[in-house]
Amino acid sequence: MFNSEYNDKRRWISYYHQTRLIMEKKPKSVLEIGVGEHTLEDILKRKGIKYEGMDLERKTTYKGNIVNWVPKKDYDIICCFQTLEHIELKQAKEVIKRLRKYCKWLIISIPQNTFHLEINGKGIAIPKKTNKCQSNQHKWEMGYIGIEWNLGTGFFDIENPYHLFYTIKGDL
């Protein structure tokens, strides 16, 4: 069932970037961790990409908890959008390290709790350095006091600056 409160304009901007980042890599296989409303699954399957999903609660290929779950095979891309912040930061770092072993590319998004500015069409994030997450379902967010995690250069869309995207080279 479509949920218009969950799937607002900002969420669709995020779906656009998720799809774009994946399609740029021309994958044959994708594993999505945390399937949400199955939107990305629908898009990728229509593009002929072999898709599998893993989720704690929703019906998909695999059911499990990302904290201790291990992929059963290799993938061109493993993606994990707006999921890692629901577990402790130390666990999220371990998950990233483990998932990289099973893919060519790991594409993730995590929330950034920052002030956002737009200058000449480019988004700039200024850390708030707060000790309160924007969502009470999150254990941490980028910009949270004490969060240090260098994942390389991320990007965000000024129309949805809360989702910070990273493309990380896998170990395959």
Angle at 15 between CA 46 and CA 110, to 5 degrees: 135
pLDDT tens for the chain, 172 residues: list them: 555 666 677 778 888 989 999 999 999 999 999 998 899 999 999 999 999 999 998 889 999 999 999 999 999 999 999 899 889 989 999 999 999 999 999 999 888 766 666 666 666 666 666 677 677 888 777 766 556 666 766 666 656 666 778 898 999 8
Angle at 113 between CA 8 and CA 79, to 5 degrees: 65
- Look up the domain containing 18 and give its range: 9-111+162-169
| H-helix segments, the chain | 9-24, 39-46, 89-100
Flag whether 107 is in a domain: yes
The structure's pTM equals 0.85
Flag whether 40 is in a domain: yes
SS3 annotation, 29-71: EEEEECCCCCHHHHHHHHCCCEEEEEECCCCCCEECCCCCCCC
| CATH number for 66 | 3.40.50.150
Count of domains observed in the chain: 1
Flag whether 1 is in a domain: no
